[in-house]
Amino acid sequence: MIQNSRAKAVWSCLFLWGGLACLWGTVVLAQESRAELPPPEPSAQETSTEDRAWDFSGEWTGFLGQTFGDQDLSFWGGRYLPKWTVDTELDGPVRFEAELIPYLAYSAQTSPTGSTDQAKSSLHRAWVRFYDENLGTRLGLQEIRFGPGKVLRSLQWFDTLDYQDPTGFSEAVEGLLVRRYFENNSNLWVWGLVNTKDQRYGQAIFSTAKDRPQWGGRMEMQAGRGEMAVSFNHSQVSLYNQQAVVPENRLGLEFHQDLGVGVWGEGAVSQRSNTGYQPATDFLGTLGLDYTFAVLGGLYVLVEQQGQKIGTSGEGFTQSRGAYSGSLPLSVQEQVRATYLESDGGQSSWQLDYRFTSDAWVFGLVGTGSYLQGETRNGLVLLAQWNH
């Protein structure tokens, strides 16, 4: 325990001093370099608030649901995400931004075997950022997400976003992210992260180990009528029900092209050492396309196919998955979306969403169904969301 505590303290100090050094470097570089470049197109998580010093907003979500199958289950609850943001200009072209979002939630469920409930409070986001038109440095509990995949995401390395979740909720990671923007519209990411718990992302076969540092980077560049990128990450993963931790390297490639029909692909190969009888390599790849038909107000159709190869040839196995989705606006305030997923072995699931938006309120009705290992289960969920 003493060695683990000391190691954890050492890594905490390294990340703290490394973060402070990068933040100081951001300020110094911005003051020395006054190149008048057009600002890059920011991603959703990089977009700053309006030009004001501070702001307060929030999102409340409530749900009530019922499942039908071999074992009926009733569940209900809600969560509240109050959000404080600060965005202000410092000396020269450098701006300072910060975000704090607590997480407050309660849920309960009843079944033929009994009832349970749970209340939870934690930090959802907590970060600071120094940035200008050429460089951004963000430190803290933050969301990091990339890749063109929408449903079957092969580059889901650090987030828990689910395409079928109408609320768009995703957990975060702790660490430092530096983004450098170049004149040719390419940009470079560099990160150093620490997971606060054992977490398995997407279709990864192992969990990223708790309190173990990971680092990596990513280069995005324009290509044809779209873009391409290469990503790398070094981490530690848990084996044997968390009884062993081994190093893992991941290399990811992606592209996205607008050819009238949107076309994209992403893939990642993972390599581990000292795994014993557990697979040392695996590959995950996704191909997708989407198109909006000029009928019925704009019928959007999405198709993705994913393949996974675990282990070496002759010793491993392969698995394939498919995703098919379509959405249609019924009016300015109403939308419906249907999604169907399938995988090897006859496993499948479907989901039908209806959403109604009125000012600060969003109401949703979600029907679900699944067939897994010979068991069929259906469900119905009523959602309400208030934004202020």
229 C-beta neighbours (distance < 10 Å), count: 22
User: Of 87, 62, 61, 63, which Cα lies nearest the Cα of 74?
Assistant: 63
Q: Which long-range contacts does 41-45 make (Cβ < 8 Å, 24+ apart)?
A: 45/142, 45/143, 45/144, 45/145
The span from the CA of 329 to the CA of 296, in Å, is: 8
Q: What is the pLDDT of residue 25?
A: 44
User: Of 309, 243, 321, which Cα lies nearest the Cα of 280?
Assistant: 309
The span from the CA of 314 to the CA of 310, in Å, is: 11
Q: What is the pLDDT of residue 291?
A: 97
> Which two three-digit tokens encode residue 238?
């848990």
> Which two three-digit tokens encode residue 52?
């004001």
User: Of 287, 284, 280, which Cα lies nearest the Cα of 307?
Assistant: 284
Q: What is the pLDDT of residue 311?
A: 80
SS3 230: strand
The span from the CA of 372 to the CA of 387, in Å, is: 36
The span from the CA of 178 to the CA of 19, in Å, is: 10
171-216 pLDDT, tens digit per residue, is: 999 999 999 999 999 999 999 999 877 788 888 888 888 888 999 9
Q: What is the pLDDT of residue 376?
A: 86
Domain segments of the chain: what residues? 143-292
Per the CB < 8 A criterion, the answer to whether 155 and 254 are in contact is yes
Beta strand segments in the chain, E: 54-68, 73-89, 95-111, 114-131, 135-142, 173-181, 187-194, 207-208, 213-223, 226-239, 244-259, 261-272, 281-293, 299-310, 317-329, 334-343, 347-358, 361-372, 375-387
CA gyration radius for the chain? 22
What parts of the chain have a pLDDT lower than 50? 1-50
Torsion (CA) 200, 204, 210, 216 in degrees, nearest 10: -130
Q: What is the pLDDT of residue 50?
A: 47
Q: What is the pLDDT of residue 35?
A: 40
Question: How many CA atoms are closer than 13 Å to the CA of 39, on its beta-carbon side?
Answer: 12
Q: What is the pLDDT of residue 241?
A: 65
Residue with tokens 């092969």: 154
Q: Which long-range contacts does 2-8 make (Cβ < 8 Å, 24+ apart)?
A: 8/211
149 C-beta neighbours (distance < 10 Å), count: 25
SS3 268: strand
State the maximum Cα–Cα separation within the chain, in Å, rounded to a whole number.
68
> Which two three-digit tokens encode residue 152?
């079957």
Q: What is the pLDDT of residue 240?
A: 67
The span from the CA of 63 to the CA of 28, in Å, is: 48
Q: What is the pLDDT of residue 379?
A: 95
